[in-house]
Structures are given as structure tokens and as C-alpha cells.
Structure 1
Amino acid sequence: MTQSLSHSTTKNNGKEGMKQEHVNQIQNAISAIEKRNIQNVFFVACGGSMASLSFGDYFVTKDTGKPSFVYTSNEFVHSQPKGLNENSLVILRSHSGTTPETVKAATYARNIGALTVAISMDTESPLCKEAEYVLHYNYKDGSNAIDGEIGIYYTFIFKLLKTLTGDEKYDRGIEQLSNLEGLIETNQEKHKEAAFEFGKRNKREKTIYTMASGAYIHHAYSFTSCLLMEMLWINSNAIHSGEYFHGPFEITDYDVPFLLIVGEGPSKPLDQRALDFVTKYSEKVEVVDVSKFDYSGVDDDLKEYFGPALAGPVMRLYADGLAEHTGHPLSVRRYMWKMEY
């Protein structure tokens, strides 16, 4: 349900806050959740949208004890999971709101009786019209980052986690999102030169592997599938750091490139173990160490939540570096949007 709401903004510690229309959209969805006996949560989308939702699944699973699942939209519709019912929350995302599989997933979930929340940049899109509740984010309009896709989704997830657990730390998380825009800019600036050099060194590579764990495995998947394979036509595979030693490490050699995300959080030892090994045998290892990000204004117990929000914009720079040196714009497609599939 999309409502006509005020475009005034809230203020947070003297910083520009979220627009009131977005505040209201999020609160409407949370109020509906509070009225339901939510027993499980489904995160449903495709490609990069699925990856962007998946960190929510990670923290719902880790923090709440509620069963949580990530589905690519088409499989969600075809597999018809038995756990989906009127006590389910289904969170869907499509950047444009037009992804046919995700629209069908919203229709299927509503027909079952689940509570549906759609996230998109276009409130008039088929997805937003199909879902019960809509979270709209601003895109390329000069708005504060808090009104962008990261800020909107994080605010909603923090509120969802607070609803499911009652823990006050998520209230602090929402307050500290006022630092988001500055932190994104600071950490991108910190990695800009390294990303440019990464592109220069790897411009002729035909294969680049990515590796991560915890909430960051979704960044590795997105970087692999959406940036390297889709946008740059570079062969790749996303390797979970904990699975590296159970098969994939056999392809490691001195001339095999890896991009490894060392995360902030409980799975960091998995990343460190993989890093210790891969740097012994490959001379082409690039590391993005999330634990060394600038977290100014973020409490220590919230760093593991903010890390994924900052890692995405930083990882994008590494794709930009490859695009710059390969002469292959990220906007070029061979099949996508050009033919029937």
C-alpha cells in the first residue's frame, strides 16, 4: 500500500535525517509485523537484489532464533516451501520493481496469506503494486544516503530485529545510521587508489576468484555474479572461506588472482585462515579488510552490522578499477535486456 505522505525530513543530532515519507513507510510495515505472529522470514529476490537482502537473513538467523531463508525468486515460486504461511514475513526486492520472477513471488506469497514487504526505487512498479507494504528508496537524486537503498533497508532491518528480540542496541543502530553517508565517503576514499591499482594489475585476467564468509559471502557472490561476470565478462566464482579448504584451494597457484574480503564479526577467523594459506601460494591476492574500515560514530557492538553496509560501496570501486583499465564499461551487456530469456 503506497500512501501520499509529506516530504519533510527528520533531524538526527543536527544531521539531515530520513524523509518523513520513508519513515512512515517503514513504520507501517513494522506495525503490520507487530500485529502478526511472525514465525519465519523469507528474503526473495534475484541477482544483486538477492545479495543485498541476504545480510538481513544472516542477522535474523544469528540474532533472533526465527527460521530465515533466502530464495531466488523463481525457485521460491516453483518449490512452494511448506513453511510459507500466514505467519510468514516475505521481504522482496527489485531495483526497478519490474523483475518478472520477483513480481510472481510477491503474488504467490500474498495468495498464501504471508505478509509481503517490497523494496524498490519505484513505488508505481509492478512489484510495489503487488506487495502489501512498500519501502521506497531514492536513487541518483542527490539525497542523503539514509534515504538510499542501504539506509532504507538498514533502518527496516534494525527495526525488525528490535521487534523480534527487544534488544535496545538496534535503536542505537538506527541512530548511528546518521553517520552512514560520511562513512561511505571516507571508506571509499580510503580504498580508491588500491581499487584503481587492482584494476591496472588485473586488466588482462580472464578469471578472478572472490572469497568471504559470514554476512560478506553475499558481497562475494554479488561481486562475482553481477560485477565480474555480468558487467565485465570476467570468469569468476564466489568461494566461502570456510569451504576453501574443502576443494577450491586446489586451484590456488602463484598466478591465480583472488579478491578476499576479511570480514568484521564472528566469522573473521575463517577469512584469516584462508588468507594465511592463499598468500603463501598465490602472488595475486587482493584483500579488503573490513575490520580496518573507519567506523567513526559507530559503537563497537554494532560494527559487525555496519560492515556490510560499507563493504558494498567499497567493493564497487574494484569493479570500477577493472572497467577503467579494461576499457569495458559496466553498462555493457551482451544478452541482458536485449533478447528473450
Structure 2
Amino acid sequence: MVQTQSEINQKNSSAVSVEMRKEHAEQIEKALQAVQGHDVQNIFFVACGGSMASLSSGDYFVSRELSLPTATYTSNEFIHRSPKILGDKSLVVLRSHSGTTPETVEAASFAKERGALTVAITMDLESPLAKAAEYIIHYNYKDGSNAIDGELGMYYTFIFKLLNQLEPNQKFERVVEQLKTIQSLIEKNVEKFSIQADAFGKKNKREESIYTMASGAYYSHAYSFTSCLLMEMLWIHSNAIHAGEYFHGPFEITDDNVPFLVVMGEGSSRPLDQRALDFVTKFSDKVEVVDVQDFDYGQTDEDLREFFGPLLAGPVMRLYADGLAEHTGHPLSVRRYMWKMEY
């Protein structure tokens, strides 16, 4: 039987994916072996902007599951604050999508000078960050590969293998195994929330400010949505409000014409979200809710859903930005300052 060009391309792509996945697995194992021989006693997660937000979920789960001290830093402050416990018993996980963020590259060099073990997560093996760190975990980007080979798939695989290495637990092994379904789960949830997200964009297309609220493992999504999508990409005034802090100042701006997007999380911090939601819906007529319990988790084990929720929240939240971009006519790719000048 003669193969079509499409079938040949698919076969070649599959072969590349298998080879790439093997390389990814080797990168993760090398980093884990280094951790095993390093007597790690504290962990730092260091990046900027959306990269910092993506690392924060790892910090959340490591700090909750293990007794090791952990902290998330924006790269420049990590250097200037110079944490006293940073040293030869530290693991520093860094991330930059392009691998060129100057502050993060400098943070990698700074951590190495202090004797810390450095692991960089980036899409480019030849980037300055990849060269500055000792160990590299790189991921595929926009090449049609499965999400398990992408940024979050690679990062979560590393984090849960790290958790299992530091404190073995079959729960962590099951997370790693079930991560293989993440591509289909993302596709299902993107389809499920697309109409709702588009309606949000249409309804809020003339709003000059939108507040985002969340807690726990989802607060980083509120931060990323606020800083990277609303403010950076859409030029909409915003602030990420921690649901637990809402009643300690921010709730005074609540009014019937003030828009809020509330992420109702899955897990131990959900009561914080519920309390905030109960209040904000009393006084604002413009509250949009993204409830993580409504996500389609497929065959994911019930007790693992709180680990998978943050993985799925990113693609879902992006839909809400896409909806705003569509109805405001403001493409997410437009910038005024970023990459346009020295800063």
C-alpha cells in the first residue's frame, strides 16, 4: 500500500516525538541523580512573570507534601535579597521560556556561585539560561507534540518524580503515570469551556479593569492571568487578589459595576475561595466563576485531582483572555514596551 504524504509526515513526527521523549526522560533522570547526591535541604523556585507563576504550583505541592523549606522568588529579588540558607545544600529550579531572561540567567549564575544545584527549564537547549545552569530540562513548543512533552508536562513529571525520590509515595508514582493523559484532558476542557470563555470576553469587552481572585495552588494562575494576560497582553487594569486576603483590604473596592473573575480551586484552600465568592456575589453584578470542580478529569484518580487541576487551569484561563482579545479586537501579541526598547 502506498502511503500518503500526510501519513508519512505523521509517522516521521511520531518517530521524532519518541526520540525527543527519550531525551526528555534522560534529562530528568540526570537532574534527579544530581539531587540524590547533593543532600538537598531546601528548594528555591526562581523565574519572572508567567515562568514564575508556572513554577509556583511546584513550590505549593513540594512545601505541602515534604518538610523541606521552599520559596518562590522573582529572579532579581532572589539575587538582591540573597537568602541566607542558599548554599551547597540548596536546589534552585529556574525557568525562562526563551532562556534569555537576563535576570533569570544571572540568578542561575548567582546560585551556582553559592554552591547550589541548578536545574533550568526552558524550550531552548542553546539558550543563555541552559548554558548557565548545571542541568537542563527542555520542552517542546508549538511543534504539534503531546502536552506531556510541553512545559507543564515536563515540569510536573520532574516535580512529582522529585517528590517520590525525596519521600517515596505511590501517590506520586500514580501522578507521573496519569500525566500521560494530560493532552486529552486539556483538549476536553478547552472544548468544554470555550463557549463560556467567549461569552465572558463579549460581556467584558469594554471593561477597563477586571480583578482576579484565587488561593492555594491556583493563586499563581490569578497572578499570571492578571499580570501576563490582562495587563501585559490586553492592557486591562487588574490585580490578583488572594481569596484569603480579600477581606483584609481589597473587598472595599467591591461594587455592583466592578468585574471579578474568581477561580474556585480544588483542594484544601477551597473554603477560602467560597467565603470570598459568597461575599463578592452579594455586591457585584459582574462575577465570573471558573470552578475547577467542573473540569473534566477523565479517568484521573479521585485523590489526584487536586494535583491535576492546576495543570488544566492554565489552558482554561487562556480561553478567557482569548475571548477578550476576540471581542476587543486587541491581539494578545501586541506590546508597547516589551521587546521594543531597553528597560
- TM-score tier by shorter-chain length is over 0.9
Q: Any idea what the Cα deviations from partners look like across 1:249-272, whole Å, max 9, x if unmatched?
A: 111111100000000010001101
User: TM-score if structure 2 supplies the norm length?
Assistant: 0.94
Q: Distance in 2 between matches of 1:181 and 1:27?
A: 23
The residue type equivalent to 1:9 in the other structure is V
Q: Does 1:138 align with 2:140?
A: yes
SS of the aligned residue for 1:153 comes to helix
Q: Any idea what the Cα deviations from partners look like across 1:206-227, whole Å, max 9, x if unmatched?
A: 0000000000000000000000
TM-superposed deviation, 1:291:
1.2
Aligned to 1:94: 96
Aligned to 2:10: none
Match of 1:322 among 297, 302, 324: 324
The residue type equivalent to 2:72 in the other structure is V
Alignment of structure 1 residues 114-125 onto 2, 5 Å: 114-125=116-127
Aligned to 1:334: 336
Match of 2:185 among 171, 183, 186: 183
Q: Distance in 2 between matches of 1:240 and 1:19?
A: 37
Q: Distance in 2 between matches of 1:43 and 1:246?
A: 27
Q: Does 1:9 align with 2:11?
A: no
Identity of aligned residues (%): 70
Q: Distance in 1 between matches of 2:261 and 2:251?
A: 14
Q: Distance in 2 between matches of 1:273 and 1:75?
A: 33
Q: Does 1:217 align with 2:219?
A: yes
**Alpha carbons of 1:307 and 1:20: their partners in 2 closer, same or farther (altered >3 Å)?**
same
Q: Does 1:26 align with 2:28?
A: yes
Q: 5+ unaligned residues in a row in structure 1: which ranges?
A: 1-5, 11-17
Match of 1:52 among 51, 54, 64: 54
Aligned to 1:15: none
Q: Distance in 2 between matches of 1:193 and 1:332?
A: 24
SS of the aligned residue for 1:113 comes to coil
Alignment of structure 1 residues 150-229 onto 2, 5 Å: 150-229=152-231
Alignment of structure 1 residues 198-277 onto 2, 5 Å: 198-277=200-279
Aligned to 1:36: 38
Q: Distance in 1 between matches of 2:40 and 2:65?
A: 15
SS of the aligned residue for 2:238 comes to coil
Q: Is the CA contact 2:31–2:135 (under 8 Å) kept in the aligned structure 1?
A: yes
Q: Distance in 2 between matches of 1:333 and 1:291?
A: 34
TM-superposed deviation, 1:7:
5.3
Q: Distance in 2 between matches of 1:25 and 1:297?
A: 28
**Alpha carbons of 1:257 and 1:8: their partners in 2 closer, same or farther (altered >3 Å)?**
closer
Aligned to 1:3: none
Q: Any idea what the Cα deviations from partners look like across 1:127-158, whole Å, max 9, x if unmatched?
A: 00110000000000000111011110010011
User: TM-score if structure 1 supplies the norm length?
Assistant: 0.95
Q: Is the CA contact 2:17–2:145 (under 8 Å) kept in the aligned structure 1?
A: no
Q: Distance in 2 between matches of 1:310 and 1:275?
A: 21
Q: Any idea what the Cα deviations from partners look like across 1:20-60, whole Å, max 9, x if unmatched?
A: 00010011101111111100000000000000000011011
Q: Distance in 2 between matches of 1:150 and 1:39?
A: 24
Aligned to 2:4: none
Alignment of structure 1 residues 284-323 onto 2, 5 Å: 284-323=286-325
Q: Distance in 2 between matches of 1:164 and 1:313?
A: 30
Match of 1:126 among 108, 125, 128: 128
Q: Is the CA contact 2:49–2:224 (under 8 Å) kept in the aligned structure 1?
A: yes
Q: Distance in 1 between matches of 2:39 and 2:18?
A: 32
The residue type equivalent to 2:26 in the other structure is N
Q: Is the CA contact 1:7–1:20 (under 8 Å) kept in the aligned structure 2?
A: no
Q: 5+ unaligned residues in a row in structure 2: which ranges?
A: 1-14
Q: Is the CA contact 1:7–1:21 (under 8 Å) kept in the aligned structure 2?
A: no
Q: Is the CA contact 2:53–2:221 (under 8 Å) kept in the aligned structure 1?
A: yes
SS of the aligned residue for 1:297 comes to coil
More moved, 76-85 vs 310-319: 76-85
Q: Any idea what the Cα deviations from partners look like across 1:65-85, whole Å, max 9, x if unmatched?
A: 110010000011111111100
Regions of 4+ moved over 3 Å: none
TM-superposed deviation, 1:9:
2.4
Q: Distance in 1 between matches of 2:64 and 2:21?
A: 30
Q: Is the CA contact 1:44–1:70 (under 8 Å) kept in the aligned structure 2?
A: yes
The residue type equivalent to 1:88 in the other structure is S
Q: Distance in 2 between matches of 1:175 and 1:80?
A: 37
TM-superposed deviation, 1:297:
1.8
SS of the aligned residue for 1:98 comes to coil
Q: Is the CA contact 1:117–1:132 (under 8 Å) kept in the aligned structure 2?
A: yes
Q: Distance in 2 between matches of 1:281 and 1:165?
A: 46
Q: Does 1:75 align with 2:77?
A: yes
Aligned to 1:14: none
Q: Any idea what the Cα deviations from partners look like across 1:250-307, whole Å, max 9, x if unmatched?
A: 1111110000000001000110111111111111000000011111121111111100
SS of the aligned residue for 1:237 comes to strand
